[in-house]
Chain A
């Protein structure tokens, strides 16, 4: 038995952390700038600098902290100011000028500048709060709860909010008890496959061979998915704590975090987090004074989508090309270097501390009996509130898109939602009332996948999106299986012909046949699911395919070969040259009457003129097929 309890060792660490991090807004003003990658793309670093400069200029003692992503990505850059006497207030669409004003008027003055307020974090009498948002009714934040509210580069901030308490609790029981608790919770792998996590750990622990390994799969490759990135950038310690507990339960002595190379900020934050955890003896030899030791190595992927497949990921860790191999044997019995290896997704790991801390029954109370807990979705595309949402499993697609996401912008009509990335499918309006869990979407031809959701409206062409995904899978296919390597290539060629108006109707059957063959003839899930985007669009949007083939027309006016830009002479304003100046290839000129004309030979169809044409004229339109252009 252990000499001292991990809880006692943890208590000391926690005391120190709490002394340093009192809750924000308790007795001092704090500025928190959301500076995850999405925030940075919107200019968060400039906002951060503006706050620092202004505060320094005025000699104020106000810390400006870089935090992660709160999930309200549509309003980036996002800033939270916690000032005594006020609820913590979130400001959206902040720029350096607004930053300056907020310092002057809110931090120094008494004006919370309601014109820039997005919402208060807590309910109050003064300002609307996030609880009043329609999405609040559906949201249930578990693994996103800390994101955007703590400093991801400071372990003590995480500890002060109760972080690493579950690790101490776990270490004071047996690995068997920890595994049992997770099994009871019904936690299933959040990478998309939904395998019961506890069972995987048990298999690994009971398998012969040592050392055993634990791998956190952070190779989030699905285009359109950014949940794992946001969690790693905003709350890296929750994932690390989960990995340590998982390692303890599975009997692993060495861990890896396999991160995508395209996520440099996540890499940086994990690196910092690992060092800090080691310093506090939460990682390394004899963790919290117990007999348990674990080291974690940060491993960067190198840009191969297929490495998200666990056997390919392991091959990559071994210094080889990321090609999947046959399973069984499953990695839990024979993985890295042939030793038992647990591979779990980032989100799966992040749930573990919560389950250990609050118990399996609590977790089971959320979601559905078959899929307990919450699901995190990355909402992008044609939806008003893009960003991250965490909802209980079983919430319907309609609730997520129309309530949490506030529907489609600009009064456009919903057409489809692409869910599950290249392995998933496009679901139409009729599928919107399906509850989202591991099983329900499979019947409709899609899958939950890791949680990327791209909303498409009437301006998006379903043939083009199928072609896009096939182009992706064809490029990313590792080349091991013939059907995946060559079948996707043939499918892509057929789809490309469709988008160029050159297809034949019988190609539709060929496409379906090929899809079935690729599914059947591929070793790993990458190939087995690659045809899904094609199959679902064929199933729900066949008419659109037919229109491309029979009429050479793209109803969404998206396929570049099938459209032309045209300026309506009776709407074009003589005194306006907006389109002429912005045309990137000088394809627009004025005729004798000073009416603008597009030179169809020169036009590259970039759409700049359409954006440039002032709304009061609205003279630029798209026509399909291009033969619709008068005089052509």
Chain B
């Protein structure tokens, strides 16, 4: 991910430059819009305004068209992700087994709402329609890994593990496992 300096202007410039680099190999057909957005988000972690403007220019379409597509699909995000991504499954089976209660627990602990990132950019929280692990309900996808049977106490357990990891990292040595 692009390391950014504090000045917003500087950051915008860098993001635009990074975007140009990422999309260089793509053709200029409109059909490439979604694959381009996926690739840019894959690299930058989100789709900031400068990136969307660059993409619009590359495909010669109005920026509003890019914004329209970005906000239509659930996968695209407009704010930077946290170090760890928490996605709570709200599929039918998960819901019936208390997925919404698990989501409440995450919100309570992280003190953010869905589609937000904690202030220290450590965690971001989102929901997902169904990851297809219905037999493991309720499921939370933690950093791309689906975790089964995540109930409020498990939420605390997962957060504790991250906290321990962070402490170990801060110490610089003594790998906690």
**Chain A interface residues toward B at CB < 8 A:** 37-38, 40-42, 73-74, 76, 220-226, 229-230, 261-264, 299-305, 316-322, 378, 380-382, 386-387, 418, 421, 452, 454, 456, 460, 465, 468-469, 472, 476, 478, 560, 582, 584-585, 604-608, 611
> CB within 8 A of A40: which of B91, B105, B145?
B145
Give 1 or 0 for each of B38-69: 1 = CB within 8 Å of chain A CB: 10000000000000000000010000000011
Measured CA separation A174–B135 after assembly (Å): 44
Residue B151 lies at the interface, judged by CB distance under 8 Å to chain A: yes
Q: Is the CB of A380 within 8 A of B135?
A: yes
Interface-central residue, A302, A318, A381, by most chain B CB under 10 Å = A302
Q: Is the CB of A303 within 8 A of B134?
A: no
Residue of A nearest to B97 (CB): A381
Closest chain A CB from B62 CB (angstroms): 13
**Chain B interface residues toward A at CB < 8 A:** 29-35, 37-38, 59, 68-69, 72-76, 90-98, 101, 104-105, 108, 128-137, 139, 144-148, 151-153, 155-156
- List 8 other contacts, CB 8 Å, given A38-B133, A76-B135, A224-B91: A73-B135, A226-B132, A261-B75, A262-B128, A262-B132, A321-B73, A606-B98, A608-B151
Measured CA separation A611–B98 after assembly (Å): 13
Provided the pairs A302-B75, A468-B92, A606-B105 are in contact, do residues A37 and B131 lie with their beta carbons within 8 angstroms? yes
Q: Is the CB of A604 within 8 A of B104?
A: yes
Q: Is the CB of B30 within 8 A of A223?
A: no
Q: Which 6 A-B pairs have the closest CB atoms?
A: A303-B74, A226-B132, A380-B134, A302-B73, A319-B33, A223-B91
Residue of A nearest to B72 (CB): A321
Residue of B nearest to A383 (CB): B135
Q: List the B side residues contacting A38 at CB < 8 Å.
A: 132-133, 135-136
Measured CA separation A559–B69 after assembly (Å): 36
Q: List the A side residues contacting B132 at CB < 8 Å.
A: 37-38, 220, 225-226, 229-230, 262-263
Closest chain B CB from A228 CB (angstroms): 8
Residue of B nearest to A304 (CB): B73
Closest chain A CB from B161 CB (angstroms): 15
Q: Is the CB of B33 within 8 A of A386?
A: no
Interface-central residue, A418, A421, A606, by most chain B CB under 10 Å = A606
Provided the pairs A40-B146, A303-B75, A608-B152 are in contact, do residues A221 and B34 lie with their beta carbons within 8 angstroms? no
Q: Is the CB of A318 within 8 A of B38?
A: no
Q: Is the CB of B38 within 8 A of A262?
A: no
Closest chain B CB from A418 CB (angstroms): 6
Closest chain B CB from A392 CB (angstroms): 23
Interface-central residue, A261, A262, A382, A465, by most chain B CB under 10 Å = A262
Q: Is the CB of A321 within 8 A of B68?
A: yes
Residue of B nearest to A302 (CB): B73
Q: Is the CB of A221 within 8 A of B151?
A: no
Closest chain A CB from B21 CB (angstroms): 21
Interface-central residue, A476, A608, A611, by most chain B CB under 10 Å = A608
> CB within 8 A of B69: which of A321, A380, A454, A469?
A321
Q: Is the CB of B92 within 8 A of A381?
A: yes
Q: List the B side residues contacting A222 at CB < 8 Å.
A: 130
Measured CA separation A291–B104 after assembly (Å): 59
Q: Is the CB of B135 within 8 A of A74?
A: yes
Q: Is the CB of A611 within 8 A of B147?
A: no
Closest chain B CB from A247 CB (angstroms): 19
Residue of A nearest to B102 (CB): A606
Q: Is the CB of B93 within 8 A of A319?
A: no
Q: List the A side residues contacting B146 at CB < 8 Å.
A: 37, 40-41
Q: Is the CB of B148 within 8 A of A606?
A: no
Q: Is the CB of B93 within 8 A of A454?
A: yes
> CB within 8 A of B133: which of A41, A261, A421, A460?
A41
Q: List the A side residues contacting B72 at CB < 8 Å.
A: 304, 321-322, 478
Measured CA separation A301–B76 after assembly (Å): 11
Provided the pairs A299-B35, A386-B134, A611-B151 are in contact, do residues A421 and B68 lie with their beta carbons within 8 angstroms? no
Q: List the B side residues contacting A418 at CB < 8 Å.
A: 92
Closest chain A CB from B23 CB (angstroms): 13
Q: Is the CB of B129 within 8 A of A454?
A: no
Q: Is the CB of A585 within 8 A of B69?
A: no
Q: Is the CB of B130 within 8 A of A262?
A: yes
Measured CA separation A40–B128 after assembly (Å): 18
Q: Is the CB of A223 within 8 A of B148?
A: no
Q: List the A side residues contacting B151 at CB < 8 Å.
A: 606, 608, 611
Measured CA separation A604–B146 after assembly (Å): 25
Q: Is the CB of A221 within 8 A of B129?
A: yes
Q: Is the CB of A585 within 8 A of B135?
A: no
Q: List the B side residues contacting A478 at CB < 8 Å.
A: 72
Provided the pairs A40-B146, A421-B92 are in contact, do residues A226 and B31 lie with their beta carbons within 8 angstroms? no
Q: Is the CB of A302 within 8 A of B144?
A: no
Q: List the A side residues contacting B68 at CB < 8 Å.
A: 321
Closest chain B CB from A562 CB (angstroms): 15
Q: List the B side residues contacting A381 at CB < 8 Å.
A: 92-93, 96-97, 134, 137
Provided the pairs A224-B130, A226-B132, A317-B31 are in contact, do residues A42 and B96 lie with their beta carbons within 8 angstroms? no
Closest chain B CB from A614 CB (angstroms): 15
> CB within 8 A of A582: which of B35, B94, B153?
B153
Q: List the B side residues contacting A264 at CB < 8 Å.
A: 144
Closest chain A CB from B65 CB (angstroms): 8
Q: List the B side residues contacting A582 at CB < 8 Å.
A: 153
Q: List the B side residues contacting A465 at CB < 8 Å.
A: 92, 95-96
Closest chain B CB from A97 CB (angstroms): 17
Q: List the B side residues contacting A607 at CB < 8 Å.
A: 98, 101
